[in-house]
Structure 1
Amino acid sequence: MKKDFYLTRYALIIKKLESAPANYSQLEEYLLNSFEFQDAGIKSYSIRTLQRDIREISDLFNLSIHNKKKGDNRYYIESRPMMEVDEYNQKLLESFQVSNALNLHPDFADFIFFESRKPTGVEHFYDLFFAIRNKRVVTFEHYNYKNKLMTSRKVHPLALKESKDRWYLIAIDTKDKTLKSFGLDRINYLDVNATKFREKYKYNFREHFKNAFGVMNLTEQNPQKIVLKCSKHQGEYIRSFALHQSQKETKETPEDIYFEFFLHPTYDFMQEILSYGKEVKVLEPKNLVENVKKHLQESLNSYFED
């Protein structure tokens, strides 16, 4: 059994048991017939390896897999982690599957093409993660694209959030005690201080982000019901890959699909809507409709000015 193949095995075992319980023979048949095993040239999978894999899956993914001792001796997932851990596990599994495919086949560059834009700022990720867990004060220089200024910041780091392939630090700025977000790609000269902050902040970020789209000022707006009318063509894409977890399909006609959301009508969400052009129209709320109209009119005016 190839040593660098274990993550692929874990992903396949979880995938199989999530669909239905299976005994050793069924798992062995599923694994050996998978394209991953065939591609790697693996022709055997012992019960001893399965038992070791189950222990490792439990430690790594917090998934409890048990075996029904009576009857057909099937393995099944007994318990699942909390929702937030489950989201993390899913992303981890996806990363493992892609990573293993690339590691096993050095010629992947002829068949797999990544986005040419390179994410920046991720070199600060673990330092900030450490600072958050240990309540360490953090200082850094932060660049503002709007006013093109570099400013010194001293913050109490509280969370990290991903939005559109960018990572943001959510922190309390000690200068004005305000909750702010800082793009990791705009942070320079990061220093995690030995000093700890003692304040006990009561933010429930999971609850806040539940109604968020992108990165936002968490105190700026209340979440609202948002209704979109989408062309049938674009609606099919939005149906298959939801814009937000609150998305609900409310109506379908031969020409259109209607969706309802409950979230903060932020600038980030408006930009997402605008990216679909005439294929998506905002019906509610009125203030978002007016903001979209204003933005479109200003965009049109900029062309006439030329």
Structure 2
Amino acid sequence: MNALTNNTATLLRRYLWLLETIYSAGRITLDEIRRRWLRNEWSGGEELPRKTFENHRKAVETLFDVNIACDRRTNEYFIEYGDDLERDDLRRWLLETFAVNDLLVNSKRLRRRIALEPIPSGYTYLTTVLRVMKENRCLEIIYRHTYDEKREKRYEVEPYGLKAFRRRWYLIAESVEMGGIYAFALDRVVDITPTAKEAEIPLDFDCAEFYADAFGIIRIPGQSAERIEIRVYGKQANYVRALPLHPTQREIERTAEYSVFEYRLAPTYDFRMELLSHGADVEVLQPAWFREEVKKIVDEMSKRYDG
């Protein structure tokens, strides 16, 4: 990493720290910000001058499209319209990621007591993809479909967007070879090269809207969302209630033995596997064809264990 890149990364960490500090505090004075700054390893033991604070404040407002306001009656700073951050998935993810990283950096003595889940290496290409998306250019990628080195294939794609699912990043891109828009897992990308060719991305494309009817990353053209009902037994109902399987989840029946949840989504392979992962605690009720499909899999599993 050269000096310029290192300096840019340091500034970004400072900006994120300031945004997260004010946001998590709700309202906070400059004196308290300075005290917290000195306790943080990013400070290097140096004070935070007012001029530097104001420069960082302006940079945060520009980069993250937020307004850091000051209540002159109490001299407290706060994020104006802070609720917008809660509704913005990208900015919330960025803040949460930084907050965890900041805690780890400032808690070196606890590192052996914190076990993190290994994350696929797709982060390597995030910067490149974001830059190319901003410049509205095409990408050439070498993709390994089944993690088999003998099955690598080159694609020229138009990058529509990025989607994170289950701690993995996916490039959502138009590919002639794949027959349309396809989700390329970034950790399966072997190489990536920006091209000079201009991408023709629809101006109204919205990645979240594109996947609104999907459970995860699988989206089959022509498959519509359906009303799905599942019955969840015992304590597992509390788990599903606390951690909804999909934004459309709605509890329509609740008893001492079970709860019935309703969804509006396309019942694709990944949703089916999610339901099966809950074992005998989850039963598909509707639609009938989906219930039968899951039943066949359960029957096949039963035969294997009977054998």
TM beyond 0.5: yes
Matching residue of 1:63: 66
Counterpart-to-counterpart distance in 2, 1:248 and 1:31: 45
What is the CA deviation profile of residues 64-103 of structure 1, one whole-angstrom value per residue up to 9, with x for unaligned ones?
A: 233445x666655433586797211211111111111111
Q: Is the 8 A contact 2:143 2:190 kept in 1?
A: yes
Matching residue of 2:103: 101
Corresponding residue SS for 1:169: strand
Say whether 1:133 aligns with 2:134: yes
Matching residue of 1:10: 19
Alpha carbon RMSD of aligned pairs, Å? 3.6
Amino acid paired to 1:62: D
Deviation, 1:112, is: 0.7
Relative distance call for 1:273 and 1:146 in structure 2 (3 A) is farther
Corresponding residue SS for 1:210: coil
Counterpart-to-counterpart distance in 2, 1:87 and 1:271: 25
Deviation, 1:191, is: 1.8
Deviation, 1:275, is: 0.4
Deviation, 1:299, is: 2.1
Relative distance call for 1:104 and 1:151 in structure 2 (3 A) is same
Q: Which moved more, 1:293-302 or 1:53-62?
A: 53-62
Matching residue of 1:298: 300
Say whether 1:123 aligns with 2:132: no
Identity of aligned residues (%): 27
Counterpart-to-counterpart distance in 2, 1:258 and 1:134: 47
> Which runs of 5 or more structure 2 residues have no equivalent in the other structure?
1-10
Q: Which moved more, 1:85-94 or 1:140-149?
A: 140-149
- Choose the corresponding residue for 1:232, options 234, 241, 263: 234
Q: Is the 8 A contact 1:62 1:81 kept in 2?
A: no
Matching residue of 1:179: 181
Counterpart-to-counterpart distance in 2, 1:110 and 1:102: 11
Matching residue of 1:283: 285
What is the CA deviation profile of residues 101-123 of structure 1, one whole-angstrom value per residue up to 9, with x for unaligned ones?
A: 111122232221112x3412321
Corresponding residue SS for 1:159: strand
Counterpart-to-counterpart distance in 1, 2:304 and 2:203: 44
Counterpart-to-counterpart distance in 2, 1:84 and 1:209: 20
Deviation, 1:266, is: 0.8
Deviation, 1:193, is: 1.3
Matching residue of 2:6: none
> Which runs of 5 or more structure 1 residues have no equivalent in the other structure?
none
Q: Using structure 2 for the length normalisation, give the TM-score.
A: 0.79
Relative distance call for 1:50 and 1:89 in structure 2 (3 A) is same
Relative distance call for 1:199 and 1:230 in structure 2 (3 A) is closer
Deviation, 1:238, is: 1.6
Corresponding residue SS for 1:66: strand
Counterpart-to-counterpart distance in 2, 1:23 and 1:202: 39
Relative distance call for 1:76 and 1:220 in structure 2 (3 A) is same
Counterpart-to-counterpart distance in 2, 1:201 and 1:45: 42
Counterpart-to-counterpart distance in 2, 1:31 and 1:217: 48
Amino acid paired to 1:145: T
Q: Is the 8 A contact 1:12 1:31 kept in 2?
A: no
Paired positions, count: 292
Matching residue of 2:115: 113
Q: Using structure 1 for the length normalisation, give the TM-score.
A: 0.79
What is the CA deviation profile of residues 230-274 of structure 1, one whole-angstrom value per residue up to 9, with x for unaligned ones?
A: 123111112222211112222221121222111111110111110
